[in-house]
């Protein structure tokens, strides 16, 4: 899964079509701050209207579960994928 931002939008791309999936962005306290349902897509986009900080991106679908950590830098609204 690739995670990146352009023009204040966070893009999430999967290497395959997600038939029935959900993406959650979770803050360091465990609160879900964004949700998106994915049906028959290999990408999703979120507006970056969340505070700067470290987040967990949780993609769950019937055939795959993926978790990535990202850091949102509020000064220029850039999302950086981390390996945590």
**Domain boundaries defined on the chain:** 2-82
At 29 the pLDDT is 93
pTM above 0.85, yes or no: no
Which residues contact residue 19 at a Cβ distance below 8 angstroms, ignoring those fewer than 6 apart?
Answer: 39, 40, 61, 62, 63
pLDDT, tens digit, 9 for 90 and up, residues 40-81: 888 888 776 888 788 888 888 877 788 888 877 765 545 555
pLDDT, tens digit, 9 for 90 and up, residues 5-22: 665 577 878 888 888 888
CB 3 within 8 A of CB 23: no
CATH topology (fold) of 2-82: Immunoglobulin-like (2.60.40)
Q: What is the DSSP letter of 19?
A: S
Find the mean pLDDT for residues 31-44.
86
Tell me which of 3-7, 29-33, 38-42 is least confident: 3-7
Count of residues making up the chain: 84
């Amino acid at each position: 899964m690739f995670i990146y931002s352009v023009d204040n939008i966070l893009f999430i791309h999967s290497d395959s079509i997600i038939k029935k999936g959900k993406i959650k962005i979770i803050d360091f306290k465990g609160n879900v701050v964004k949700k998106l349902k994915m049906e028959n897509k290999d990408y999703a986009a979120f507006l970056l209207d969340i505070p700067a900080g470290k987040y967990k991106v949780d993609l769950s679908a019937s055939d795959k579960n993926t978790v990535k950590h990202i850091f949102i830098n509020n000064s220029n609204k850039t999302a950086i994928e981390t390996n945590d």
